Amino acid sequence: MYIRWKSITIALIDVLLAVYLILAVTSWNKPEENVAVCNEVKINISDVNNAGFLSAEEVKDILNKVKLYPLNKSMNAINPRRIEETLRTGPFVNTAQCYKTTSGIVFINITQRMPIIRIKSDNGDDYYLDDNGGILPNSKYISDLIIATGSINRIFAQYYLSSLAKEINASPFWLNQIEQIHVLPDRGIELVPRVGNQIIFLGYLPYGKYKSARERGIREFVSKKLDRLSKFYKYGMSKVGWNLYSYINLEFDNQIVCKKQLHEEAGAEKSITRSEAVDVKKNDPEVLEKKSSEVKKEKKTDGPMAEEGPTE
């Protein structure tokens, strides 16, 4: 049998040339990572303009301390996964993503944990809570956040006050109007507004053993109470003045119990007239007025939650 060596040789040479051309084009279009260096680092932080803790400069400092900041380093020596793991260990980082490009740019994308309330408890605790109820250390001062004071332990803060703060923050009006939450020893909730000299007693947050039911109950509770307070602002306070009352009690259903300022404290504020009281009640039947001597705050024998906290 005659073998055509010439044809086989030509075909083999063609195959080798094709493979060589493919490898050559691929290597020419992809610079060697051993030679290329990082010429730029782009750090993107979500919500950086809001009440967050992190800035691009602080991320740079974190990586510099462990010698992981990639600028001017060989692209082959840069380990994106290690950068991500280092950043995730920080108390203010929620997620971190890092990747590099063939053009010598390293991208670092971060989402941060957002503080929604500051806790300053009677027991000396001072920290922030994020929007998931997680505790953030008080390493920075963040303005324009609601401050919670009083008898607060960490269980009550994480499971109850975080949900209350989220509901207040969800409304631009109440976020600007409420500046402080005070927790009484029996777990009653008082609100301190920016406008007006009164204290607002919200009542007792509903207890919930499971997270979903607890958050739903608090959301409905707060929505109902603040809706009634909004009506009282509209139909009551707008008529009699913002400084007539020293205490507004929203605890009871279908009524709002108000305690008047003492005459010495009321100053130039006028007393509410009978006709004005009728007008207020006519516009909103939920409003009930009482003189300060008639207002008695009911005591509750049981607190709204157990010390050991609910089940997740």
Query: Domain boundary at 112, 131, 162, which?
Result: 112
Spatial distance between the Cα atoms of 193 and 168, rounded to a whole number of angstroms: 12
165 and 210 belong to one structural domain: yes
The 10 Å CB-count burial string (b at 16+, else e) for 198-218 is: bbbbbbbbbbbeeeeebbeeb
Q: By mean pLDDT, which of 39-48, 179-188, 217-226, 300-309 is the weakest?
A: 300-309
Q: What is the pLDDT of residue 244?
A: 84
Write out pLDDT tens, residues 55-108. Answer: 899 999 999 999 999 999 999 999 999 999 999 998 889 999 999 998 999 999
Q: Which two tokens stand for residue 111?
A: 């989402």
Spatial distance between the Cα atoms of 79 and 60, rounded to a whole number of angstroms: 15
Total domain count for the chain? 2
Confirm whether 14 is domain-assigned. no
Kindly state the greatest CA–CA separation across the chain: 125
CATH number, residue 75: 3.10.20.310
Confirm whether 303 is domain-assigned. no
130 and 154 belong to one structural domain: yes
How far is residue 253 from each of residues 12, 52, 224, 246, 285, measured CA to CA in Å?
92, 38, 10, 20, 11
Its domain, for residue 64, covers 37-112
86 and 193 belong to one structural domain: no
Percent helix, strand, coil in the chain, to 5, is 35, 25, 40
Confirm whether 245 is domain-assigned. yes
Query: Domain boundary at 69, 97, 112, which?
Result: 112
99 and 133 belong to one structural domain: no
Q: What is the pLDDT of residue 265?
A: 46
159 and 191 belong to one structural domain: yes
Confirm whether 214 is domain-assigned. yes
The overall pTM is greater than 0.85: no
98 and 199 belong to one structural domain: no
Write out pLDDT tens, residues 15-57. Answer: 787 777 777 666 555 554 455 899 999 999 987 666 667 889 9
Pairwise pLDDT comparison (246 vs 1), residue with the higher score: 246
CATH number, residue 207: 3.40.50.11690
Query: Domain boundary at 232, 260, 288, which?
Result: 260
Q: Answer yes or no: is pLDDT of 289 > 80.
A: no
**What is the 8-class DSSP label of residue 76?**
G
Per the listing, tokens 């989402």 go with 111
Between the ranges 5-9, 234-238, 244-248, where is the mean pLDDT highest?
Answer: 244-248
108 and 124 belong to one structural domain: no
107 and 122 belong to one structural domain: no
Spatial distance between the Cα atoms of 276 and 107, rounded to a whole number of angstroms: 64
Of the candidates 44, 47, 98, the one whose C-alpha atom is nearest the C-alpha of residue 68 is: 98
176 and 80 belong to one structural domain: no
